[in-house]
A and B are shown apart, each in its own frame.
Chain A
Amino acid sequence: ETGVTQTPRHLVMGMTNKKSLKCEQHLGHNAMYWYKQSAKKPLELMFVYNFKEQTENNSVPSRFSPECPNSSHLFLHLHTLQPEDSALYLCASSQDPSGIGEQYFGPGTRLTVT
């Protein structure tokens, strides 16, 4: 248990559905991240939020829409996804985005797009 929780753990959705992934950290951290983990590929950073402000968008398609209402919560809103978006989506947090503080990861949401 790393102090970062994600819900749901598994999600199956059709290409026309709208769903949201939720991440919550109980560590008092100031930075939060979304990563995509596909089979046989390195983890891909999607978004970075520092103090609720988005500081990085790694050329992510607009069908993925992040939201960070406060430093403890991070959402990833999904709409009109494609089958190739099926992957494990990991959330992470760190104390200070500029320090050496490690990133703490959640257990991930396994997303399947049908």
Chain B
Amino acid sequence: AQTVTQSQPEMSVQEAETVTLSCTYDTSESDYYLFWYKQPPSRQMILVIRQEAYKQQNATENRFSVNFQKAAKSFSLKISDSQLGDAAMYFCAYRTAETSGSRLTFGEGTQLTVNP
């Protein structure tokens, strides 16, 4: 079974600074997808960024980028130029690439605080 671990329950960053959230996972599969979801206080979870394991290039979405290290099974999220609206709970998630697989396995989350 796959597991996802987020070792940082809480992180804080100054506005306009950069912060990196850590995520590691365990799997025996070679093809899979990884996601970072954001859950702000309003509770609606939204997708921040996703990575396909067969792609070596790290995904980027504006101020959000990942550092995907497949051999190390590491998938960290970097937020550049942090904004107050980035404050939220961030979840790392794993999904198999098998055609029958739709289950997302989530980490425990990292609560990010952005200080003005």
Contacts and interface: CB of A to CB of B under 8 A. Distances in A.
Tell whether A pairs with B: yes
Interface string A23-53: 0000000010100000011110100101000
Given A107-B42, A107-B43, A107-B44, A42 B107 contact: yes
Interface string B81-111: 0000000000100000111111111111100
B49 to A, nearest CB: 10
Contacts, number: 56
A31 to B, nearest CB: 6
A41 B44 contact: no
B33 A48 contact: no
B45 interface: yes
Interface residues of B, number: 26
Most buried by A among B44, B102, B108: B102
Contacts of B44: 1-2, 105-108
Contacts of B4: 42
A33 B105 CA distance: 13
B35 interface: yes
Contacts of B52: 100
B47 A102 contact: yes
Pick the 8 closest A-B CB pairs, nearest first.
A97-B102, A105-B45, A43-B106, A98-B99, A42-B106, A107-B44, A102-B47, A108-B43
Given A42-B4, A100-B50, A103-B47, 4 more contacts: A102-B50, A103-B104, A104-B47, A105-B46
Interface of A: 1-2, 31, 33, 40-43, 45, 48, 50, 55-56, 88, 90, 92, 94, 97-98, 100, 102-108
